[in-house]
Structure 1
Amino acid sequence: MTEPRDLSPDVQRLVAGLDAEQTEAVLAPRGPLCILAGAGTGKTRTITHRIAYLVQTGEFSPQQLLAVTFTARAAGEMRGRLRSLGVQGVQARTFHAAALRQMSYFWPRHFGGHLPELVTSKFRMVGQAAARERVSTTNDMVRDLASEVEWARSCLIAPEDYPAAVQRSARETPLPAEQVAKVIARYESVKKRAEVIDFEDILMSMAYMIESVPDVAREVRGQYRGFVVDEYQDVNPLQQRLLSAWLGERDDLCVVGDASQTIYTFTGARPDYLLDFADRHKGATVVQLERDYRSTPQVVALANRVISGSAGRLAKARLRLVGQRQDGPSPTLRTFDDEQSEAAAIARRCAELIENGTAPAEIAVLFRINAQSEVYESALADADVPYVVRGAEKFFERAEIREAIVFLRAAVRTADESEDPLPDLVRRVLASSGWDPSGALGQGAARERWESINALVGLAEELHAADPYVTMEALVAELDHRSAAAHAPTIQGVTLASLHAAKGLEWDAVFLVGLHDGMLPISRARTPEQVEEERRLMYVGITRAREHLQLSFALARNAGARASRKQSRFLDVFGGGPTSSTPPAVRRKAKVTRCAGCGQALTPQQASRGSCERCATSGNTLFERLRSWRLETSRSHEVPPYVVFDDETLAAIAARQPSSLMNLLSVKGVGETKLGRYGSAVLEVVAAGSSGAAK
């Protein structure tokens, strides 16, 4: 490697502030270069300085370099960083944007006329293809079939080869593979008849033109001499074919990736191209970036432990991150009785972080599937914490939820509720709307839709557990209440996002929620390869956190339900199993249940009721009075009892017996909003209970 003293002053300034491995990557000789960059190791900084170095040393002019990313946001960030380094004119684009720009230039010259119209959505034509093949054309089915069309074409799989490819990959399909193959073939004929092209056509056609038209190949390869590809672990076969066409026989290629962040194989991504890079490009330089500048050493240590349990080929390529920041709080693992308790506790913790100076936009709650968002939207709204939903519609804005509420509202006027408990009635009403109460069928959009509607059944079970006589009218009122709260202004707020949508982002504080087996890994992950991808998904979630990280799961879905869930197998690193080595710092963070009244640590038997013997004896009668008051209040306000206060908060009030609003505000679970709404009434109950005890 070139010594710093041998560099020109301009290049010395360029590498100033880079660590040794980043500098090695920037100064690597021309030719194939593979940068294995772990989470938070400064990969964007490294590759932009690499591009600037190649330009400053005269190896390439800016116009001869093409940097390819996977999102327009990442491309924009790269262009901005290059401008700050004084480099103008480098093309930084997504695969599709780069190919479309080239196609728009070459098509009129070689085929005459304008480029055919580009359709940005396959939905309409896939629906037509499905109808002609006499299969279901519901919105969910068409969306899932469109995903299969994209997967097959991105993987260069012809319709006739699709069934065998599905079997090899153990892929779930919305219909029998033979039927899906017919829809894929029909889609191609529908598209051809309409004389339009889609995004896969752009990539395929550009690759074909370079491969088959010498003038096009000569001009493209004359224009672009060097290539940089970010997130190379996510490249699919179609994108790799275009990249190979751009390169030709040349080897001026720099790729950047991390096998441990491979989480999109279901869309056709192939980490093999990254893993095999040195074999396919003889003499390639390989540099590993393992110094993590994003997360505290405590977060980094947990990420390393989780990914160290991986198996298979990708495990051999994993990087071991080394935290570079100062020490921070250890990650914590919390267990809750039910999902509502989990959400409420996290909402309270978000409020505490914000009160202590953390910006709401620097906090994220991450989950496995979008259907999990509703309980957190509701809990954050109840706690007056603003939030934004990233990568999906808000729960009450989803089409299937709006439609289901219409059916439930109609049932208020027509249903006979004298016999059936609310959950059974809700299941019957939703079944009439097309929802199958027996369980989710298929995958993709259909499964997401089922999970979203099933959340309404879960709410009915929750209300029924609190009040066995709850009515359909009360359920609809609760839905209206939650919907109204969810429409509060949310521009600057806590981020709610799926783990997939969180890729490439980072926050000061991250809550990973719903981490039970069956959700992460998700139940449909059946093969060892699919389970390992779920592990990598958790690894991605952990490495989004800069400082605060809490992982949690609920033993049951609803209050009062059987506690049958087990924590995710990926969380075994928190225990003392034979293959885990949990540092003392993490063990000290094990959950300790404390008395709601005096705060002392409780035995398991005491923890079940939330207080020690002394506080339980003094507060038992008052606790029951508070529960009675809560039931009356919830009925008069037409809300579930837990919306007023949960049992944990009532137990704390009974134990402490606050005598003023300020004393009451210090009780965990009592915020300013609930203090103003219920504070005076609670103090009256406490005062009456205290005087009764004195008598």
Structure 2
Amino acid sequence: MRLILDFDKVYPDAQTVLLTENYRSSPQIVAAGNTLISRNTVRYPKELHALRPSGEKPLYFHADSDEKEASWICARIKALGTPYRRTAVLYRSHYQTRALEEAFIKNDMPYRILAGTEFYGRREIKDIVCYLRMLTAADDVAFFRTINMPSRKIGRTKTALIRDYADSHGISAYAALKELASGQPALFRGTGAGAYISAIESVRDMLPHPESSAPVLHTQAKLGDILQAILDRSGYEAFLRTEADQDRLDNVAEFKRSVNEAGLDDDATLEGFLQHVALFTDLDREDSLDCVKLLTIHAAKGMEFPHVFICGMNEGVFPSRRVSTPDDMEEERRIAYVAFTRAQRRLFLSDAEGKANDGIFKYPSRFIFDAGLENLELERPLDEGLVQQAQKIIACDEARMRAMRSLFAAGDRVRHPVFGDGTVILVNSTASCYTIQFDGMETQRSIQFAAKLQKL
């Protein structure tokens, strides 16, 4: 971005032509986008003008939960009365699709995820569901998916042996493994077979026994404990962390949250939860040309849709909780601007209360306020206390990032009260420090942004 902004300084004879006409979006959408992006400081100061006819203000809805937010989106799409293919739902991260997919399926509305996989079809979610199935039915599909995930050094030869033994004795593959491991322990020496069996059996002990007549129910904590126990004892979550794939970890966190929410029902059981999950995995849906498009904002770049919904407009979601520097926040705001301006006729914004995957209470995104509440139509009034608390949290975060903002660029000449004059060699926004080559010193020094430097 700096290269673009400094281009006319490097080439003073260059002529700058600002493109200020917007042919895609209505004036109301452009107005909200202009107000939003005006909060960025690293940009050319310009304001777009819409050439499309006047329309309606972007509609903002603050929901009580993710599920109610998704249901509202479905209801609003139906109320539009237009073909589904004219509507897109945008989100910041892939894990946000769970509640959306469940709502679309419950409402019998066709949808397609572009540039991604359906939530319950993602590798890590299928793995975890199979581990949970091992605690109840221990079916062969679940067994062969989990026995070597993560690797337990049980290769094709040993899995074929397990399969043949199970077939010849008319038992499940898991029962075959237990009999073989018990009767012929040498077969699985040096493998993780024993640890696998121990993990399954120890977590099974947390479940109510079928022969017991006592009404032992899985409460919220119990369901969550069961899930966490199998993730820990199987080594699966630790394995995912070694992969360092944040998207997969976010999906796992979202799945955990869904388990905890299911556990809010006093009658909740693991079997019941798995039946609920099966409703969204055992579907044979026909591909339809007339369907709602679900996609990340990054995937939507260069696209346009008559009607656009942007969900998850929460602090920590959008902007992402991984944003840590002022430059990162400005980039996140540019992404929000891209999302706003994908809409041609109608723009819908939504967020939800509750706890995020990291357990922190969710507040409306600063981008809602940045766009100007006067530029939005509110589906229902926002609670004043919620607004004040959200703005307080946002102000604290912005003050923290302002302290991290670089005042100088590479190449600037500066003066330090102790080390004297020098040249900025590198600006490290992540570490909030400069690398400076001071005159007369052989070694470059690292100086914090907060240091008292004077530009020469």
When normalised by structure 1's length, the TM-score is 0.41
The answer to whether the 8 A contact 1:404-1:433 is kept is no
State the partner residue of 1:285.
Answer: 15
**CA distance in 2 between partners of 1:446 and 1:514 (Å):** 21
User: 1:447 is matched with which residue?
Assistant: 246
Q: Higher helix share goes to which structure?
A: 1
Structure 1 unaligned runs (5+)? 1-270, 575-579, 594-602, 605-695
1:316-335 pair list within 5 angstroms: 317-335=44-62
Deviation for aligned residue 1:490: 4.2
Q: Please give the alpha-carbon distance, in whole angstroms, between the structure 2 residues aligned to 1:486 and 1:368.
A: 28
Partner of 2:74: 347
Aligned pairs for 1:24-35 within 5 A: none
Distance in 2 separating the partners of 1:478 and 1:284: 62
Tell me, yes or no, if the aligned pair for 1:378 and 1:486 is still in contact at 8 Å. no
2:306 paired with 1:514:
no
Q: Out of 101, 108, 118, which is 1:377 matched to? A: 101
Alignment partners' CA distance in 1, 2:61 and 2:224: 29
Matched with 1:564 is: 361
Please state if 1:481 is matched with 2:291.
no
Aligned to 1:401: 125
Aligned-partner SS, 1:526: coil
1:417 matched residue in structure 2: 207
Helix, strand or coil: the match of 1:495? strand
1:156 aligns to what?
A: none
**Does 2:258 align with 1:459?**
yes
For 1:527, the equivalent position in structure 2 comes to 325
Aligned partner letter, 1:425? I
Distance (whole Å) between structure 2 residues aligned to residue 393 and residue 525 of structure 1: 25
Aligned counterpart, 2:398: none
Question: Shift of the alpha carbon at 1:396?
Answer: 2.1
Post-superposition CA distance 1:69-88 (Å, at most 9, x none): xxxxxxxxxxxxxxxxxxxx
Superposed CA offset, 1:506-560 (max 9, x none)? 11111111111111111111111111111111111001011111111111159xx
- 2:106 is the alignment partner of 1:305: no
Q: Distance in 1 between matches of 2:283 and 2:64?
A: 25
The match for 1:365 is: 89
Shift of 1:304: 0.5
For the 8 Å contact 1:342–1:554, the answer to whether it is kept is yes
- CA distance in 1 between partners of 2:64 and 2:360 (Å): 7
Per-residue CA distance 1:283-323 (angstroms, 9 max, x = gap): 33321111111000000000001101112xx23x1431111
CA distance in 2, matches of 1:391, 1:339: 22
Q: Is the 8 A contact 1:435 1:453 kept in 2?
A: no
Is the Cα–Cα contact under 8 Å of residues 388 and 491 in structure 1 kept in the other structure? Answer: no
2:3 is aligned to: 273
- What is the DSSP-based 3-state SS (H/G/I as helix, E as strand, rest coil) of the residue aligned with 1:283? coil
Measure, in 2, the Cα distance between the counterparts of 1:335 and 1:424: 31
Percent identity over the alignment? 29
Count of aligned residue pairs for this structure pair: 305
Distance in 2 (alpha carbons) for counterparts of 1:374 and 1:293: 34
Report Cα offsets for 1:442-491 as digits up to 9, x if no partner: 99x611101112222122122211x2231111111111101134844244
Between the two structures, name the one with larger relative contact order (CA 8 Å, sep ≥ 6). 2
Alignment match of 2:115 (pick from 388, 391, 401): 391
The one-letter code matched in structure 2 to 1:396 is: Y
Equivalent pair of 2:62/2:380 in contact (CA under 8 Å): no
Letter in 2 for 1:293: Y
Equivalent position amino acid for 1:427 in 2: Q
Separation in 2, partners of 1:425, 1:490: 38
Q: Tell me, what secondary structure is at the counterpart of 1:454? A: helix
- Structure-1 residue corresponding to 2:266: 468
| SS of 2:73 mapped into structure 1 | helix
Cα distance in 1 between the residues matched to 2:284 and 2:266 = 27
Q: Distance in 1 between matches of 2:227 and 2:127?
A: 14
Is 1:511–1:549's contact at 8 Å kept on the other side of the alignment?
yes
Change (3 A) 1:300 1:511: same
| Structure 1 residue 393 displacement after superposition | 1.4
Q: Is the 8 A contact 1:297 1:328 kept in 2?
A: yes
| Paired residue secondary structure (2:17) | strand
Structure 1 position 374, deviation (Å) = 1.7
Q: Does the 8 A contact of 1:340 with 1:375 survive in 2?
A: yes
Write the mapping of 1:158-169 to structure 2, written as runs, cut at 5 A.
Answer: none
Q: Distance in 2 between matches of 1:396 and 1:381?
A: 12
> Which whole-Å deviations, capped at 9, do the CAs of 1:109-162 have from their partners, x for residues lacking one?
xxxxxxxxxxxxxxxxxxxxxxxxxxxxxxxxxxxxxxxxxxxxxxxxxxxxxx
In 1, distance between residues paired with 2:338 and 2:380?
28
Match of 1:542 among 327, 335, 340: 340
3-state SS of the aligned residue for 1:287?
A: coil
Indicate conservation of the 8 Å contact 2:355/2:361, yes or no: no
Q: Deviations over 1:207-233 (max 9, x none)?
A: xxxxxxxxxxxxxxxxxxxxxxxxxxx
Give the secondary structure class of the aligned counterpart of 2:16.
strand
SS at match of 2:267: coil
Shift of 1:344: 1.1
Kindly provide the amino acid, as one letter, of the partner of residue 330 in structure 1. K
Q: 1:441 to 1:429 in 2, by over 3 A?
A: closer
When residues 433 and 486 of structure 1 are mapped into structure 2, their CA distance, relative to the original with a 3 A threshold, is: farther
Q: Indicate the SS of the match to 1:388.
A: strand
The change in CA–CA distance for 1:374 and 1:386 in structure 2 (over 3 A counts) is same
The SS at the match of 1:496 is strand
The alpha-carbon distance between structure 1 residues 441 and 406, as it changes in their structure 2 partners (threshold 3 A), is: closer
- Name the aligned partner's letter for residue 554 of structure 1: A
Letter of the structure 2 residue corresponding to residue 284 of structure 1: A
- Give the match for residue 100 of structure 1: none
Question: Quick check: which has more Rg, 1 or 2?
Answer: 1
Structure 1 counterpart SS, 2:103: helix
Counterpart CA distance in 2 for 1:442 and 1:309 is 38
Residues of 2 paired with 1:537 and 1:484: CA distance?
Answer: 35
Q: Name which of 418, 427, 431 aligns with 2:228.
A: 427
Q: Output the TM-score relative to the length of structure 2.
A: 0.62
Distance apart, 1:429 and its partner CA? 1.9
Secondary structure at the aligned position of 2:224 is classed as helix
